[in-house]
């Protein structure tokens, strides 16, 4: 996959990921969770990363912050954030980037809050670890008081009663906790927020409301957002650009409307077809046949070929070429919209 | 833990017997898997190996008494090593581990005590698990006052220092090995083990097949005995291991204090050495206390290790650490 | 929180009631009764026997005896000790309880701290021979035959190396011309220890209020000043050498009891910590860019502490039993040795009294652990 386009049309992209490859060592062998992923994300942009569970999208998100379990290994690749490659940095050096520059909204946010501390305390703790960003210098007590005001402001921004900052996580409802976690991610004024399935555990109405608020906050603060989800409908709503992941690889990337209306990769088409349209158009629901492949011994050639209706001999044997250019491409032998072989 | 893989009620045409037959078959099948998971853990295998070695010692004693060892010299309680000039005598070819202050063969005492340790541990563990399984199932099934009573009782027994209580009990009643095993079993069965098994029983009680059995007209006893208790057995087996450790330990301590009516045990061996004033001889009389002390420690820890390893198999949460 | 505490207190009271009832049945279960033991004892005059019969209501029906038992229990009336006649059981026990409490408290606190610290470190730096050997020695200490281990400690540190006395509470040679009694000195020692603990606690609270706790050397300095002033005060008192003698006798039993009780805490903390480390909020804490030490101590260890405190209840009974064994091996004249001696000399009232107080000690420790848990877990605090 080295020949994927590495240049981008954005001027001075905030994040450039090149050929990122992550392996987990297990008893069964190396799990190639992320394999040669390349993309870039501009300032103030939203990139939606979509794929089935187990396709490596969460590993990719955690890998960007280098928050991986001890059996994980960054095999190769570059994570260029604001001109600095994060890949070779050690833990102490990474710490300056974590939360201060790149924050995260976790999957299952209910568990991202420590049950024994007050919610506000957990936010202040992050600010303290980064020398109170955005707070005027002064005596410790005064900085803390100012920071508390800041947290209250953030709570109002995400639609929470500021009084809730002195509650414990178990006293908050699921939606409230999710909002608190979003507020926490904004506390150090990061440039990039990685949101990993931030609304999956919530009911649909709350999910919808939080999603809209997240989008408006992103616009207001000019954040870059990497939105990781399995839910195509959510991506359609928030993302400027969409990346589609399959079996550890990025198989298609493009502007959201384009990918949704004219998908090039058969997998993208299958994924879109397996979700009901959010606009309520009547479409037959077609599920993708088969199972996602094992990442220990992925299929040869194009990894999607065992499930692909258009698969041919070359799909089984050869790594597919990149079709398209710039910020709209797919890795496929027989992209949709081209003639059938 | 095969309650999820059990065939539904309708597949057992003739009721209880065939249900049990199916259960046994399934248990055998899953026990092979369980063994594989268990054997993957070196800690558990070491534990089993030590237990087997002690088992051999227990078997060896009567055989040796019948063949090589002359009872007048080698009987663990009444024997006397006439061949030695003074006692305690250090290890020699005739007495591989030497003799105690009363001229008795240490190796013979050591092997003879193994049998009593196993008997004690087994009886205590069986009584514990029998009581705890019934108490746990009853408390979980009925809840309310039954549950409250048994749980407060368990609280009390957990808090009570067992050894102290046993010391007073021996003073009041005078206990022999079998009675001690019974008392330990009763204490364990109404104590901590009951609490653990009850919480497991609670999770079984809400399974759909219990409700199905109730709708089919099964009475409380039928449901407890046929549906709840069998599914508690894996956990019960696990707690048997921990009970054995506790029982052997308690017996050894009480014997060490010299307040039990027991013929011979490791604790008594140390007690004999202690009352004879040989303890601070330290290294010069090592054979008086090192073999017995090591035997207690080793057998206790081996059952504990097997329990820990089983715990990882029975609790899937811990598996694969 | 008040509701939860009240409920737990009620449960403790029910447990206490069950305990009293159990002790009544224990006495009933023996062949004969208390007074027949008294009559067999040549040390006791006959009028004592009739007094005992009246005191325990042995000539009355069972129900009345039970009520009397409850009353005796509530008023601390456990009768007269045979072996220490004419001392009452309560007098004997009150003399010895502080010695056991000191042994038990010190060993429990030290072993909890040490076990928790080591368990935390083991889980944090997984793998390698350190974890392996620590786990093995932990299991060995946890299952070692306690009397044997205590004897080995005496043999090595007292007999072979001669660092500490062989056992007992004090050295009679040192005390031959002592101006004060051992119990008095010991009482003052306990007072000193308690005072240091309270002052340290208050100092920590004050430092936390001032926001100075993060400065690591400050608490240490306060502790050193406290201990140093206590040492100077004792040295100037003229009986410092007596306190030193008792202290020397205390070291080995406390060390033994600490070693056998800390392993359980260590193994449990390690497991609990490994479980906690997999929680999402630990990843979140790392993502926040918190220093590793903060992630480990403030988040992982703080949450791993909860199940360890819960199971402290189990280990408390274990520690009390360990104390009984340790006392008897070291001839430390506390409750445990009293219990054993009473049984060996068939002094039943004293044995029962000692058992009741040992049980009460465990019950109080349990209640304290409960309150501590409520303080530690906000999910219960605000129920």
Judging by beta carbons within 10 Å of its beta carbon (0-12, 13-18, 19+), is residue A10 exposed, middle or buried? Answer: middle
pLDDT at B6: 41
Nearest-Cα distance to chain C for B189, in Å, is 15
Q: Can you spell out the DSSP letters for A98-150? A: BTTTEEEE-SSGGGGS-TTS-HHHHHHHHHHHTT-TTS----HHHHHHHHHHH
State the pTM of this model.
0.81
Region C238-259: mean pLDDT is: 86
pLDDT at C52 over 80: no
* Residue A7 forms contact with C (CB below 8 Å): no
Q: Is the pLDDT of residue C63 over 70?
A: yes
Give Cα C233 to chain centroid, integer Å.
27
**Residue C267 structure tokens:** 């193994």
For B216, phi and psi rounded to 5 degrees?
-75, 0
Task: Tell me: pLDDT of C1 over 50.
Answer: yes
- Separation between Cα atoms, residue C343 and residue B169, nearest integer Å: 9
pLDDT digits (tens, 9 = 90+) for C196-243: 888 888 888 887 777 655 666 777 888 888 888 888 888 888 787 888
Alpha helices in chain A (DSSP H): 57-64, 91-95, 119-129, 140-157, 174-186, 204-221, 232-238, 256-261, 266-273, 313-317
Mean pLDDT of chain C: 82
In a domain, A80, yes or no: yes
Measured between CB atoms, does C314 come within 8 Å of chain B?
Answer: yes
The better pLDDT of the pair A81, C75 is held by A81
Tens digit of pLDDT per residue, chain A (341 long)? 334 444 444 457 899 999 999 999 887 788 899 999 999 999 999 999 998 888 888 899 999 999 888 888 899 999 999 888 999 999 889 999 999 999 999 877 668 899 999 999 999 999 988 988 888 887 877 888 899 999 999 999 888 999 999 999 989 988 889 889 999 999 998 999 999 888 777 778 888 888 888 899 999 889 999 999 988 888 888 899 999 999 999 999 999 998 988 889 989 988 888 776 555 555 554 567 777 788 888 888 889 888 888 888 888 888 898 888 777 889 998 888 754 44
All structural domains of chain C:
24-75 (no CATH), 89-179+239-376 (1.10.3720.10)
Is A166 near chain C, with CB under 8 Å? Answer: no
CB pairs under 8 A between B and C: 136
> Nearest chain B Cα to C126, which residue?
B321
The whole-number pLDDT of residue A20 equals: 94
Chains near B with 3+ CB pairs less than 8 A apart are: C
Is residue B172 within 8 A of residue C34, CB to CB? The reply is no
Whole-number pLDDT of residue C381: 64
CA-CA distance, C61 to C78, in Å (whole number)? Answer: 20
- Domain span at residue A157 reads 15-41+70-101+109-230
Is residue A227 within 8 Å of residue A239, measured between CB atoms? Answer: yes
Q: For position B9, what pLDDT does the model report? A: 41
Which of residues C49 and C124 earns the better pLDDT score?
Answer: C124
Kind and range of the H or E run holding B306: helix B286-314
Nearest CA in chain A to C209: A141
A290 belongs to a structural domain: no
- Write the residue in C211, C280, C288 that is nearest to A99 by C-beta: C288
CB contact under 8 A, C362 and B170: no
* Structural domain spans, chain B: 40-74+95-319
Contacts of B229 (CB under 8 A, 6+ apart): B133, B134, B137
Cα A258 vs. chain centroid, distance in angstroms? 20
Question: Could you give phi then psi for residue B115, rounded to 5 degrees?
Answer: -60, -50
**How far apart are the CA of B33 and the nearest CA of chain C, in angstroms?**
25
What's the structural domain count of chain A?
1
pLDDT of residue A7: 43
Which residues of A are less than 8 Å from C291 in CB distance? 95, 129
Chain B neighbours among C 350-379 (CB < 8 Å)? 351-352, 354-355, 358-359, 362-363, 366
Q: What is the CATH number of the domain that holds A219?
A: 3.40.50.300
Nearest residue, CB atoms, A116 vs list C280, C292, C378: C378
Q: Contact C378/A170, CB-based, under 8 Å? A: yes
If you ran DSSP here, which 8-state letter would residue B260 be given? S
In this predicted structure, the answer to whether residue C362 has a pLDDT above a threshold of 90 is: no
Residue A118 is assigned to a structural domain of this protein: yes
Best residue of B121, B164, B305 to probe chain C, by most C CBs closer than 10 Å: B164
Q: What is the pLDDT of residue B69?
A: 78
From A99, which residue of chain C is nearest by alpha-carbon distance?
C288
C378 to A96: CB separation less than 8 angstroms, yes or no: no
Q: Name the token pair of A41.
A: 């994300």
Q: What is the ipTM of this complex?
A: 0.85
How near does any CA of chain A get to the CA of C124, in Å? 12
3-state secondary structure of B226: helix
Look at B9 and A21; give whichever has higher pLDDT: A21
Residues of C in contact with B270 (CB under 8 A): 145, 147-148, 151
Contacts of A193 (CB under 8 A, 6+ apart): A102, A103, A104, A105, A185, A186, A218, A223, A224, A225, A226
Nearest by Cα to A304 from A318, A292, A286 = A292
**Smallest CA–CA distance from A93 into chain C, residue:** C289
CA of A332 vs chain C CAs: smallest distance (Å): 36
Q: Within a domain: residue A286?
A: no
In chain B, DSSP finds a helix count (H) and a strand count (E) of 13, 0
Token pair for C45 = 């005059």
Distance CA A213, CA C204 (A): 44
User: Does the domain made of B40-74+95-319 have the CATH classification 1.10.3720.10?
Assistant: yes
- Determine the residue among C212, C275, C288, C377 to mutate to test chain A binding: the one whose Cβ has the most chain A Cβ atoms within 10 Å: C288
pLDDT for B115-146, tens place per residue? Answer: 889 999 999 999 999 999 999 989 888 888 88
pLDDT at C208: 73
Helix (H, G, I), strand (E, B) or coil at C152: helix
- Residue C47, chain A, CB below 8 Å: the answer is no
Task: Give per-residue pLDDT as tens, B224-249.
Answer: 888 888 888 878 888 888 888 889 88
Please give the average per-residue pLDDT across C129-137, as a whole number.
81
- For residues B197-225, give the mean pLDDT: 83
Residue A158: DSSP 8-state: T
- Closest by CA to A35, choosing from A228, A246, A249, is A249
Taking the CA of residue C146 and the nearest CA in chain B, the distance in Å comes to 8
Which chains have at least 3 CB atom pairs separated by less than 8 Å from chain C? A, B
Describe the crossing of helices B106-142 and B177-190 by its angle, rounded to 10 degrees: 30
Does residue A29 lie within any of the structural domains?
yes
Residue A134 Rama label (left phi>0; alpha psi -120 to 50; beta): left
Given the DSSP bridges, would you call strands A102-105 and A192-196 parallel, antiparallel or unpaired?
parallel
**Integer Cα distance of C229 and B167 in angstroms:** 43
**How far apart are the CA of C171 and the nearest CA of chain B, in angstroms?**
19
């Amino acid at each position: 996959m080295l020949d994927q386009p590495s240049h981008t049309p954005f001027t001075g992209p905030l994040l450039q990921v090149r050929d990122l490859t992550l392996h987990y060592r297990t008893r069964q062998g190396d799990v190639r969770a992320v394999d040669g992923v390349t993309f870039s994300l501009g300032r103030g942009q939203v990139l939606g990363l979509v794929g089935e569970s187990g396709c490596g999208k969460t590993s990719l998100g955690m890998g960007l912050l280098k928050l991986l379990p001890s059996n994980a290994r960054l095999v190769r690749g570059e994570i260029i954030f604001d001109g600095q490659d994060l890949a070779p940095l050690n833990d102490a050096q990474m710490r300056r980037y974590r939360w201060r520059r790149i924050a995260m909204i976790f999957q299952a946010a209910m568990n991202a809050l420590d049950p024994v501390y007050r919610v506000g305390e957990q936010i202040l703790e992050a600010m303290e670890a980064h020398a109170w960003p955005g707070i005027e210098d002064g005596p410790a007590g005064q900085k803390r008081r100012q920071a508390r005001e800041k947290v209250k402001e953030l709570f109002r921004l995400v639609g929470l009663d500021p009084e809730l900052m002195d509650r414990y996580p178990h006293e908050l409802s699921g939606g409230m906790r999710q909002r608190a976690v979003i507020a926490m991610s904004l506390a150090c004024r990061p440039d990039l927020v990685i949101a990993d399935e931030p609304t999956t555990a919530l009911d649909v109405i709350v999910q919808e409301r939080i999603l809209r608020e997240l989008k408006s906050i992103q616009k207001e603060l000019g954040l870059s957002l990497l939105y990781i989800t399995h839910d195509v409908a959510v991506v359609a709503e928030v993302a400027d650009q969409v990346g589609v992941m399959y079996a550890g690889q990025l198989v298609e990337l493009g502007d959201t409307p384009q990918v949704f209306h004219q998908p090039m990769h058969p997998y993208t088409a299958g994924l879109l077809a397996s979700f009901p349209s959010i606009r309520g158009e009547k479409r037959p629901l077609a599920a993708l046949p088969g199972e996602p492949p094992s990442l220990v011994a992925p299929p040869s050639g194009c990894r999607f070929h065992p499930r692909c209706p258009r698969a041919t001999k070359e799909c089984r044997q050869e790594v597919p070429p990149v079709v398209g250019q710039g910020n709209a491409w797919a890795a496929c032998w027989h992209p949709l919209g081209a003639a059938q072989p | 833990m095969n309650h999820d893989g059990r065939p539904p009620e309708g597949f057992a045409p003739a009721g209880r017997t065939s249900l049990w037959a199916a259960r046994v078959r399934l248990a055998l099948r899953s026990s092979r898997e369980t063994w594989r998971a268990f054997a993957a853990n070196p800690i558990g295998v070491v534990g089993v190996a030590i237990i087997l070695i002690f088992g051999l010692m227990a078997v060896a004693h009567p055989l040796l008494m019948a063949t090589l060892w002359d009872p007048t010299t080698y009987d663990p309680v009444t024997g006397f090593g006439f061949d030695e000039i003074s006692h305690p005598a250090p290890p020699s070819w005739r007495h591989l581990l030497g003799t105690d202050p009363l001229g008795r063969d240490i190796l013979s005492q050591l092997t003879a005590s193994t049998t009593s340790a196993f008997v004690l541990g087994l009886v205590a563990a069986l009584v514990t698990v029998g009581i705890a399984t019934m108490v746990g199932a009853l408390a979980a099934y009925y809840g309310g006052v039954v549950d409250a009573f048994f749980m407060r009782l368990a609280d009390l027994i957990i808090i009570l220092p067992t050894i102290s209580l046993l010391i007073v009990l021996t003073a009041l009643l005078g206990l022999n090995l079998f009675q001690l095993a019974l008392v330990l079993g009763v204490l364990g069965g109404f104590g901590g083990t009951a609490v653990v098994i009850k919480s497991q029983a609670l999770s079984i009680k809400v399974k759909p097949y219990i409700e199905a059995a109730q709708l089919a007209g099964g009475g409380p006893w039928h449901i407890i005995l046929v549906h709840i208790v069998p599914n508690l057995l894996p956990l019960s087996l696990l707690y048997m291991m921990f009970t054995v450790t506790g029982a052997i330990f308690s017996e050894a301590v009480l014997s060490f204090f010299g307040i039990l009516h027991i013929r011979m045990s490791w604790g008594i061996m140390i007690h004999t050495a202690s009352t004879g004033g040989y303890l601070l001889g330290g290294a010069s009389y090592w054979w008086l206390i090192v073999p017995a002390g090591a035997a207690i420690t080793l057998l206790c820890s081996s059952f504990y290790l097997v329990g820990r390893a089983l715990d990882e198999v029975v609790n899937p949460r811990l598996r694969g650490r | 929180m008040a509701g939860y505490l009240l409920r737990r207190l009620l449960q403790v009271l029910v447990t206490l009631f069950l305990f009293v009832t159990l002790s009544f049945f224990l006495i009933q279960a023996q062949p004969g009764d208390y007074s027949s033991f008294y009559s067999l004892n040549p040390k006791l005059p006959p009028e004592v026997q009739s007094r005992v019969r009246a005191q325990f209501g042995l000539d009355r029906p069972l129900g009345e005896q039970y009520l009397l038992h409850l009353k005796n229990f509530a008023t601390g009336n456990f009768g007269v000790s045979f072996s220490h006649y004419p001392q009452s059981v309560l007098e004997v026990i009150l003399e010895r309880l502080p010695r056991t409490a000191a042994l038990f408290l010190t060993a429990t606190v030290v072993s909890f701290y040490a076990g928790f610290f080591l368990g935390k470190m083991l889980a944090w730096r997984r793998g390698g021979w350190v974890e392996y050997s620590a786990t093995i020695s932990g299991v060995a200490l946890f299952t070692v035959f306690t009397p044997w281990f205590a004897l080995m400690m005496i043999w090595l540190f007292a007999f072979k190396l001669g660092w500490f006395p062989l056992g007992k509470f004090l050295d009679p040679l040192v005390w031959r011309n002592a101006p004060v009694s051992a119990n008095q000195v010991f009482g003052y020692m306990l007072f000193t220890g308690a005072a240091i603990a309270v002052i340290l606690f208050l100092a920590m609270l004050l430092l936390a209020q001032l926001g100075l706790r993060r400065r690591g050397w400050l608490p240490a300095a306060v502790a050193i000043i406290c201990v140093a002033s206590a040492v100077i005060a004792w040295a100037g008192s003229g009986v410092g050498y007596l306190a030193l003698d008792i202290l020397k006798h205390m070291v080995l039993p406390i060390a033994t009891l600490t070693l056998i009780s800390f392993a359980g805490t260590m193994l449990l903390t390690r497991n609990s910590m490994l479980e906690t480390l997999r929680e999402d909020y630990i990843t979140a804490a790392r993502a926040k860019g918190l220093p590793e030490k903060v992630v480990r101590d403030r988040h992982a260890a703080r949450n791993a502490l909860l199940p360890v405190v819960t199971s402290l209840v189990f280990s408390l009974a274990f520690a009390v039993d360990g104390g009984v064994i340790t006392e008897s091996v070291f001839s430390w004249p506390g409750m445990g040795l009293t219990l054993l001696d009473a049984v060996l000399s068939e002094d039943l009232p004293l044995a029962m009294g000692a058992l009741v107080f040992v049980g009460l000690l465990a019950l109080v420790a349990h209640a304290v652990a409960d309150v501590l848990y409520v303080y530690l877990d906000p999910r219960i605090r605000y129920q």
